[in-house]
Structure 1
Amino acid sequence: MPPFLTRVATLMVAACLLLASLMVSTSHRAVAAAPGYLMTHFTGEGATGQQIYFSHSEDGLHWTDLNGGGTALRSTVGTRGVRDPSLVRSPSGDRYWIVATDLCIDCGQSWGDAQSNGSRNLVVWESTDLVTWSQPRLLDVAGAIPDGRNAWAPEAVWNPATNDYVLYWATNATLNGVLKHRIYYARTTDFRTITTPRLYIDRPGTQGIIDTQIVEVPSGTGAYRYVRASGDGDITIEGSNSILGSWTKLGNLSGIGLTGSQVEGPMWLKFRDRDDWALYLDQYATGRGYLPVLTTDPTSPGSYRLPASGSHQMGGTKKRHGSILNLTAAEENRVQARWPATTANRLQSYNQQDRYVRHVDFDVRLDPDVSPADDARFRLRAGLTGSGTVSFESVNYPGYFLRHVGSDLELARNDGTTDFAGSATFRRAPGLADAQWSSFQSYDAPDRYVRHYAYQLRLDAITTTLGREDATFRVTG
């Protein structure tokens, strides 16, 4: 080949290689940027653990706690605790609900009380964007069930056959002389009103059933359109072509050593990038939280397999019975902006360095050895009035901010008003007693700063050396 043509051929090959490299790189970036998964869950017993938490995963197996591991939503109704949250998206994607058990164990209620005389209500939140949620409300689902004693572990699935949601849950009730948990259902379009509850799943004899979750299986995978996994002494797998039709028992997970005495709270995930599913199971017997069991066919119990060692990571908080949503790109952007994974902060006093700012019964003060620890953790958000300022949002009371009323500081729910925004916004300045620390000047009362006085937090005009020390804080992890 002549030298000129050789050089041309060499340049063409190089250009092709560069183009291929760019295509591969672009492809990898597209995969990396694909939206992930949102888990809603609770973390354990007590008033703090039994609330709504969010976690995010890019691949469905490695999870990061959102909101710095703090509470995302808090129940202020019923027992003031929630478990077993189910996150529901409307078919059009313009509305979302969280439906949860109204239950707070170790908050003045025992398991015996909860089973024999527990709440007959579910707790419901509603949203149009997945990040701005309504106040929680109670939905009575078990009050109309004869001898219905509680309402646990709710789930909901859209039923195209009836153009509404099938809402189902477990109630402990006496039927045919046998007292036990069975699954009941009702239909709803708005999670405000429901049809009369009817029996959905019953097991023979005295065998109860509490947890069940349904997943829709795409055409071409297995023989059934819907599969459900239930905690009923085993983890039973069933299939059906109609949500309210007959169901066929397909088997259980005893072949991989898992029974209902070890795990509960089945939670489905369909991987976005491959024909593979994870059935997450809560290892309640050992207190280890969720474990993903993998399968290429949910209708075939023999195909389920335990994950390889080290192939999954559940994040910093324990993940208990919840649900998973495959996010769209817009949803993911909103969720991560609202509840970032970054760690929340504490405010340490300059002249009382063993003490931190915390809330107690919505009052704000300094204390050492804060318990629960989340009472002293705040997320420093962009100020409610605009950029260049900060506002302090409580980690365990999301939507509640430090604000002043007159000279007093309190923790209060953001009501969306201009007055609230002004009273909950501060300018962060170099510390008045030490420029390496910080002081916080009131936005709407700029002649005053946040300080402590007799361990109470307040706003004051600062004119003395002691005042400057009282008004100086360190923002720390």
Structure 2
Amino acid sequence: MPALLSRLTAIWIAACLLFTGQVLTAPQRAAAADSGYLMTHFIGEGATGQQIYFSHSTDGLNWTDLNGGGMTLRSTVGTRGVRDPSLVRSPDGDRYWIIATDLCIGCGQSWDAAVYNGSRSLVVWESRDLVTWSQPWLLNVAGAIPDGRNAWAPEAIWDPETGDYVLYWATNATLDGVLKHRIYYARTSEFRTVTTPQLYIDRPGTQNIIDTQIVEVPSGVGDYRYVRASGDGQITIEGSNSILGTWTSLGNLSGIGLTGSQVEGPMWMKFRDRDEWSLYLDQYSTGRGYLPVLTTDPSAPAAYQLPASGSYDLGGTTKRHGSILTLTAAEDSRVLARWPDTAVSRLQSYNFQDRYVRHTGFDVRIDPNVSPAEDAQFRVRTGLVGSGTVSFESVNYPGYFLRHSGFVFQLAYNDGTAQFAADATFRQVAGLADTSWSSFQSYNYPGRYIRHYAYQLRLDSVTTATERADATFRVTG
């Protein structure tokens, strides 16, 4: 009995110490864990506006465009344009996905075609670090919906009850004789396959619903674990204690003058240091982009307030329907290091000064009168292998770099491997033909330089005067 009592006492003390440690250290970890905010969004119409853009904020209200306001990812699949991106982090924080509408208005597709015969697929990217992203792929989500005409505005939320994601989106389909947009859902664990789509949200009569986003609310705030905001003629607020359970209508934001005829694309953001939320709404009717609406209780429409004049700044680009992720300090550092405001440059040939390095069909050459001009524009980054070197990233195909393969150059997508980094990294040295210009020595073949031959870009040894001239360039605006 004394031995048992002693053992129980030891267990009790250990439990108290463990509990005390959790109580004391958990808030410290939480405080240290969150840093800035990352917004992913698109910026407008056209082939370049309907791509992936990133913006960063330290306070959730004042935003800076990353990558100098340029796109950060470009879709090369489906319609080759994307809208309404959603940024998803795995529960363990070791994987990320961007899911987006496969839609490019004004790029060979009209609104009428998109509504009635659009893409049934979503565009998906995956990353392990928020910095190096996979090539995009198409995920067919609406093909199994009877008379499904499109797939728009995707979102996903982790469901702890089933250990996978509830992926939901809008599809224009006929049900009970009525053709309109409704919200459907499916389950997925990796965004490569989905379960059979099911109807999720339907509004009475002919009322469409296209945009909806769910936020999980901490215990002690409001009466519901989950709150969703939807664009359905109003900005409707609903609450539930289960993602796929019964949802209760709580009201809308017409009381502060915001209706579905003015705003769309609801985007939730919780401030990391307090129980306050911003519901960003895209002012599509006036083309002004996002407006933050503030609340201390997402489930109480009466608690929402318009921001004070001058209290927020959305940065230089128009930010359209997207999502916001609260970053850990490590994520924050990686994101800011990957997409600094680096100048856009061109590489001018020394001995053919009307010609510039450009990509065409992912081959690389020097040409005059480059069209589109962006094909000859690059960001001269810190080299992929580290400081003291440079790498050349395409402006209109972000994530694609000048890379030699078999000593011939191509514009290739960074696959994150050490081999790619070495092949796409160079040392910028004094020009071999003119020291006021530049030459670029290969990182992994230091006896070779970037050089044009018959106007094609190669990696060659350089010995003659002609070869030195061929290997000399000016980095210019």
**TM-score, normalised via structure 2 length:** 0.85
3-state DSSP class of the match of 2:35?
A: coil
What are the Cα deviations for residues 311-332 of structure 1, in whole angstroms up to 9, with x where unaligned? 2222222211110011111221
Kindly indicate whether the alpha-carbon contact (under 8 Å) linking 2:52 and 2:85 is maintained by their aligned counterparts in 1: yes
Kindly indicate whether the alpha-carbon contact (under 8 Å) linking 1:282 and 1:290 is maintained by their aligned counterparts in 2: yes
Matches within 5 A, 1:188-199: 188-199=188-199
Q: 1:476 to 1:253 in 2, by over 3 A?
A: farther
Question: Counterpart in 2 of 1:124?
Answer: 124
Equivalent residue letter for 2:310: G
Within 1, Cα distance between the matches of 2:283 and 2:354?
38
Question: Counterpart in 1 of 2:236?
Answer: 236
Query: Unpaired runs of 5+ in structure 2?
Result: 1-29
Equivalent residue letter for 1:364: V
Kindly indicate whether the alpha-carbon contact (under 8 Å) linking 2:34 and 2:327 is maintained by their aligned counterparts in 1: no
Equivalent residue letter for 2:115: Q
Within 2, Cα distance between the matches of 1:425 and 1:331?
24
Matched, 1:169 2:185: no
Within 2, Cα distance between the matches of 1:416 and 1:251?
47
Matches within 5 A, 1:322-341: 322-341=322-341
Matches within 5 A, 1:48-63: 48-63=48-63
3-state DSSP class of the match of 1:77?
A: coil
3-state DSSP class of the match of 1:130?
A: coil
Greater shift, 276-285 or 342-351, is seen at: 342-351
**TM-score, normalised via structure 1 length:** 0.85
Kindly indicate whether the alpha-carbon contact (under 8 Å) linking 1:393 and 1:400 is maintained by their aligned counterparts in 2: yes
Question: Counterpart in 2 of 1:24?
Answer: none
Q: 1:214 to 1:369 in 2, by over 3 A?
A: farther
Within 2, Cα distance between the matches of 1:373 and 1:305?
45
Kindly indicate whether the alpha-carbon contact (under 8 Å) linking 2:33 and 2:328 is maintained by their aligned counterparts in 1: no
Greater shift, 34-43 or 429-438, is seen at: 429-438
Deviation at 1:67, TM superposition (A): 2.5
What are the Cα deviations for residues 440-461 of structure 1, in whole angstroms up to 9, with x where unaligned? 2334554554345676544553
Deviation at 1:74, TM superposition (A): 2.4
Within 1, Cα distance between the matches of 2:352 and 2:311?
45
Equivalent residue letter for 2:49: G
Measured on the aligned residues, the alpha-carbon RMSD in Å equals 2.8
Q: 1:143 to 1:32 in 2, by over 3 A?
A: closer
Matches within 5 A, 1:340-359: 340-349=340-349, 356-359=356-359
What are the Cα deviations for residues 17-70 of structure 1, in whole angstroms up to 9, with x where unaligned? xxxxxxxxxxxxx99996110111122222222222221110111111222323
3-state DSSP class of the match of 2:180?
A: strand
Within 2, Cα distance between the matches of 1:416 and 1:224?
42
Question: Counterpart in 1 of 2:68?
Answer: 68
Deviation at 1:439, TM superposition (A): 2.0
Kindly indicate whether the alpha-carbon contact (under 8 Å) linking 1:96 and 1:130 is maintained by their aligned counterparts in 2: yes
Question: Counterpart in 2 of 1:20?
Answer: none
3-state DSSP class of the match of 1:35?
A: strand
Percent identical pairs in the alignment equals 80
Question: Counterpart in 2 of 1:311?
Answer: 311
Query: Unpaired runs of 5+ in structure 1?
Result: 1-29
Within 2, Cα distance between the matches of 1:414 and 1:220?
45
Q: 1:283 to 1:469 in 2, by over 3 A?
A: farther
Question: Counterpart in 1 of 2:5?
Answer: none
Question: Counterpart in 2 of 1:13?
Answer: none
Equivalent residue letter for 1:335: V
Question: Counterpart in 1 of 2:464?
Answer: 463
Question: Counterpart in 2 of 1:206?
Answer: 206
Kindly indicate whether the alpha-carbon contact (under 8 Å) linking 2:52 and 2:71 is maintained by their aligned counterparts in 1: yes
- The count of corresponding residues between Structure 1 and Structure 2 is 447
Kindly indicate whether the alpha-carbon contact (under 8 Å) linking 2:132 and 2:415 is maintained by their aligned counterparts in 1: no
Within 2, Cα distance between the matches of 1:161 and 1:218?
16
Greater shift, 350-359 or 421-430, is seen at: 350-359
Q: 1:146 to 1:445 in 2, by over 3 A?
A: same
Question: Counterpart in 1 of 2:256?
Answer: 256
Deviation at 1:96, TM superposition (A): 1.8
Q: 1:317 to 1:422 in 2, by over 3 A?
A: same
Q: 1:128 to 1:457 in 2, by over 3 A?
A: closer
Deviation at 1:150, TM superposition (A): 0.8
Question: Counterpart in 1 of 2:4?
Answer: none
Deviation at 1:434, TM superposition (A): 4.2
Question: Counterpart in 2 of 1:155?
Answer: 155
3-state DSSP class of the match of 1:245?
A: coil
Kindly indicate whether the alpha-carbon contact (under 8 Å) linking 1:72 and 1:396 is maintained by their aligned counterparts in 2: no
3-state DSSP class of the match of 1:212?
A: strand
Q: 1:133 to 1:252 in 2, by over 3 A?
A: same
